[in-house]
Structure 1
Amino acid sequence: MGHGGNVINELTQDHREVDSLFAQIQAHTAADQHRRDLVDQLTIELVRHAIAEEQHLYPTVRRYVDDGDDMADKEIADHAEVERLLKELEGCEPGDERFDMLLARVRSAVAEHVKDEEERLFPLLEEVCSAQALDELGQRVRSAKEKAPTRPHPSAPDTPPADKILAPGVGMVDRVRDMLAGRGTGR
């Protein structure tokens, strides 16, 4: 993930990438081990996306959008639920009945979250931020995704400043673990 453009374009492209991963997962039979690799890639993308939103998008929403605190709190709660489900899914293998049940719950939660952001939050943000501010926010989000963790950490802080302090270190550890395990490489 790292598409370029303003924050809304960047995050919307992330949403389409996640939709594509869900479709690829569904295209495989229940016990196909390739589903595990695709779910690992989905997890990486969702965690990085959520961290970047929590570090940069939601503080901006809190500051500039009417009722921004409530909106940001709801979106962060959505992230926490998805992250909890991803952590459970991490311990399942394709063919396990819990795998498909958890995956369906992740997909439903993500679809609801995406719809809320794209239909409500993004238009409100676009009304109150200049094009330049949205472009700068897009760059900060891309930078955060590069350093973000790649595995779910449901108990990690999800609001500034603690998330901005801890996430890069946790992200580095996750990327080393991923490299050693071949996770997220499509192998």
Structure 2
Amino acid sequence: MGHGGDVIQELTTDHREVDEIFAQIEALPMGDKRRKDLADQAVIELVRHSVAEEMHLYPAVRRFLPDGDEIADREIQDHAEAERTMKELEGCSADDARFDEFIGRLMREIREHVTDEEQNLFPRLREAAAPEELEKLGEKVRSAKKTAPTRPHPSAPQTPPANKLLAPGAGLVDRVRDVLTGRGRTD
């Protein structure tokens, strides 16, 4: 499954990619420096994914599902918890005793969130929204991920309109920092 298609296909592809990174982390011994590099890559992907969901998916959930406000609020809360964990993880090296605690917590949080989205939210959204709407949302999500931040910003707004206004600026700053530090490079 590659990127493209409707919003559900796009986000499910992201889920598989992050799960693959998690599997690579789990396969390496504790303290291995590559675990931190992979964790950084996972955080980059998760932050971009979360910002795109908050900008486009959750407003659509509010619009299309009768209990959409409740669902979107819960999903955004899940993101906030994961973002706090990512922020704690950001300050740890792979040989830090807290690294394994934080990466383990992040993997549990994300896997639970993904299961909920894929088993509950996505099927309901597919039933409620027209295929054309889901296609448009897929394009918006792909576009948002290109300018989204790559680092956790737990105190940043997570709901429209503030998140739509601030995310591109934070994304630019994050990408400059990533280039200068080599973070997220997979060479």
TM range (shorter): over 0.9
Residues in 1 aligned to 2:65 and 2:141: alpha-carbon distance in whole angstroms: 18
Alignment of 1:15 with 2:10, yes or no, is no
Shift of 1:36: 1.1
In the comparison of the two structures, how many residue pairs are matched?
186
Q: Give the equivalent residue in structure 2 for 1:48.
A: 48
Q: Give the equivalent residue in structure 2 for 1:77.
A: 77
Residues in 1 aligned to 2:25 and 2:63: alpha-carbon distance in whole angstroms: 38
Q: Give the equivalent residue in structure 2 for 1:31.
A: 31
Deviates more, 1:169-178 or 1:2-11: 2-11
Residues in 2 aligned to 1:64 and 1:131: alpha-carbon distance in whole angstroms: 13
Which amino acid counterpart does residue 80 of structure 2 have in structure 1?
A: A
1:122-173 deviations in Å (ceiling 9; x for gaps): 0110011111110110000000000000000000000000000000000000
1:70-108 deviations in Å (ceiling 9; x for gaps): 000000000000000000000111122210011111011
Residues in 1 aligned to 2:120 and 2:164: alpha-carbon distance in whole angstroms: 26
Gaps spanning 5+ residues in structure 2: where? none
Q: What is the identity percentage for the equivalent residue pairs of Structure 1 and Structure 2?
A: 62
TM-score, normalisation: structure 2? 0.98
Over the aligned positions, Cα root-mean-square deviation in angstroms equals 0.9
Shift of 1:28: 1.2
Question: 4+ residue stretches of structure 1 with deviation over 3 A?
Answer: none
Q: Give the equivalent residue in structure 1 for 2:136.
A: 136
Residues in 2 aligned to 1:148 and 1:139: alpha-carbon distance in whole angstroms: 14
Q: In the TM superposition, what are the counterparts of 1:117-136 in structure 2 within 5 Å? A: 117-136=117-136
Shift of 1:66: 1.4
Which amino acid counterpart does residue 111 of structure 2 have in structure 1?
A: A
TM-score, normalisation: structure 1? 0.98
Which amino acid counterpart does residue 178 of structure 2 have in structure 1?
A: D
